[in-house]
Structures are given as structure tokens and as C-alpha cells.
């Protein structure tokens, strides 16, 4: 039975919110991702290391077993499940998602300019279809299809809020937390697609082979999350 655990986490909001959960598992990284260029962080526990990867790469590292467990936003997991190896968009990919950690909570929404110029309402549609800019192409496509709406989706990699301001798109699909970013760019939420939070994910083989280490971690985290 293997006795080492590798945890994949992205730096920034999720890492910060994950620190108290890691502390409850008696895991303390010896360096912070903001102060080192190292991508493998040692911890106080010789059997546990943390790897720092991009949010969208966390499920890949875990699915292929390069990391045993990971913490990933539901937005990333929903988008990933469609593309994953063996993924069928129904969540049947090579990962377990045993726990909602209730951290990095926000919402996936559809937003558009607060003030559409007079005469512009509806006229901004292109061939009868609205243009929607987003990084979350699969989530947006599934959502609009479920609503019976035909839209043209434009893939962007960031700063989605700019797209309606410059007329690139009529609407955006993006995450909102406080709503400050939307407001600062004159956008308002018109529909909420789903609530988002970060989830614990576990490699299927590791769940079997390292059950002695992983099961107590899941149990402890479950207790903590339920206390919230």
C-alpha cells in the first residue's frame, strides 16, 4: 500500500480558502505559492506534497493519477467532464467527486449590458441568434440548449466583461462573486445558471490503493464542511 499523497491545487482564491481545510488535516505547506516559483510544495508531512497547477488542469492531473486528490471549482469540473478522456458530459469520467468543500463559492450567470441603447434591443441579434461570449463554452452550450435557445457562442480566455461593452457579444456567461466586476463594466445578471463551489476530487485508483490515507481525509473534511 503506497504511503504518499499528492494534492493538486491552483494558486489564488482556491489555495487561500483551502489552507484552513488542509490545516485541519494537519497539512501545512512549508512555502506559499505567492513567494516561491516552485510548483511542488513540500509540507510539514513527509508523506504529503502539494502541486500548484492551473485551475483547469487540476482534473487532468487527478484523472491521470499524477495527483491523488485535488481541489477544483465546479465550473472547471462541469466544463472538463465533457472533454475528459472517456467523458460523456454526464460526469462519468475517471474521477470521484466525493465532497462539496463549500469554498470559493460564487454563481455562474448570464449577464448583459444594463442599458441597451434605444432601438438596439433585439437588433443586436445576429441572424436571429444572440452572441454569447464565454470561457465556459460547454456549460453555456448545454444551458442555452436546455432553455431551447439558439445562440452563437464565442470562446474567450478572459476579460469576458469587455465583450458586450465593445459589441463583440450581446451577453456573457461568467462567474460572479460580489458582482463588482459586472457593475464596473455596466453589466447586470439576467439569469443564474448554477451555484458554484470547489469540490474535492479523487483519482479512482488512488481511492482504492491509498484508501488508508484518503478515507480519513474525506471523513475529516466531511465533518468540517457539515459544521459550516
d(C-alpha 145, C-alpha 165), whole Å: 25
Between 73 and 164, CB nearer to ligand AMP? 73
In angstroms, the first-to-last Cα distance of the chain is 33
8 Å CB contact between 199 and 211: no
Between 42 and 177, CB nearer to ligand AMP? 177
- Of 26, 47, 120, 177, the residue at the interface with ligand AMP (CB under 6 A) is 177
Task: Tell me the window of 61-69, 83-91, 179-187, 210-218 that interacts with ligand AMP (CB under 6 A).
Answer: 179-187
Between 199 and 210, CB nearer to ligand AMP? 199
- Of 176, 193, 201, 214, the residue at the interface with ligand AMP (CB under 6 A) is 176
Find the length of the chain: 228
CB of 169 to ligand AMP, least distance (A): 15
CB of 148 to ligand AMP, least distance (A): 27
Grid cell locating 198: 470547489
Between 137 and 207, CB nearer to ligand AMP? 137
- Positions in 46-75 near ligand AMP (CB under 6 A): 73
CB of 158 to ligand AMP, least distance (A): 8
Between 132 and 206, CB nearer to ligand AMP? 132
CB of 111 to ligand AMP, least distance (A): 10
8 Å CB contact between 99 and 72: no
d(C-alpha 102, C-alpha 165), whole Å: 33
Q: Residue 173's Cα: distance from chain center in Å?
A: 14
Helix runs in 7-136, H state only: 13-24, 58-63, 74-83
- Positions in 71-130 near ligand AMP (CB under 6 A): 73, 104, 106
d(C-alpha 147, C-alpha 219), whole Å: 38
* 7 is a site residue for ligand AMP (CB under 6 A): no
8 Å CB contact between 26 and 47: no
8 Å CB contact between 96 and 133: no
- Of 117, 178, 226, 227, the residue at the interface with ligand AMP (CB under 6 A) is 178
* 174 is a site residue for ligand AMP (CB under 6 A): yes
Instruction: Tell me which H or E stretch contains 181.
Output: helix 180-184
- Of 86, 180, 226, 228, the residue at the interface with ligand AMP (CB under 6 A) is 180
Grid cell locating 151: 445562440
Q: Which residues bind ligand AMP (CB under 6 A)?
A: 13, 73, 104, 106, 174-181
Amino acid at each position: 500500500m503506497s504511503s504518499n499523497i499528492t494534492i493538486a491545487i491552483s494558486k489564488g482564491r482556491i489555495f487561500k480558502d483551502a489552507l484552513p481545510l488542509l490545516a485541519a488535516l494537519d497539512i501545512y505547506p512549508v512555502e506559499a505559492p505567492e513567494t516561491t516559483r516552485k510548483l511542488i510544495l513540500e509540507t510539514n508531512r513527509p508523506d504529503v506534497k502539494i502541486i500548484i497547477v492551473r485551475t483547469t488542469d487540476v482534473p487532468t492531473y487527478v484523472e491521470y493519477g499524477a495527483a491523488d486528490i485535488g481541489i477544483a471549482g465546479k465550473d472547471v469540473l462541469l466544463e472538463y467532464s465533457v472533454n475528459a478522456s472517456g467523458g460523456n458530459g454526464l460526469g462519468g469520467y475517471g474521477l470521484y467527486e466525493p465532497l462539496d468543500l463549500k469554498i470559493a463559492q460564487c454563481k455562474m450567470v448570464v449577464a448583459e449590458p444594463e442599458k441597451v441603447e434605444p432601438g438596439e434591443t433585439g437588433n443586436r441579434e445576429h441572424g436571429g441568434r444572440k452572441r454569447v461570449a464565454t470561457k465556459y463554452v460547454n456549460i453555456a452550450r448545454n444551458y442555452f440548449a436546455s432553455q431551447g435557445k439558439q445562440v452563437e457562442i464565442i470562446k474567450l480566455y478572459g476579460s469576458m466583461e469587455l465583450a458586450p461593452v465593445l459589441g463583440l457579444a450581446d451577453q456573457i456567461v461568467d462567474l460572479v462573486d460580489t458582482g463588482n466586476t459586472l457593475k464596473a463594466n455596466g453589466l447586470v445578471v439576467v439569469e443564474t445558471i448554477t451555484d458554484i463551489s470547489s469540490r474535492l476530487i479523487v483519482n479512482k485508483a488512488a481511492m482504492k490503493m491509498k484508501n488508508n490515507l484518503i478515507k480519513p481525509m474525506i471523513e475529516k473534511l466531511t465533518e468540517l464542511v457539515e459544521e459550516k
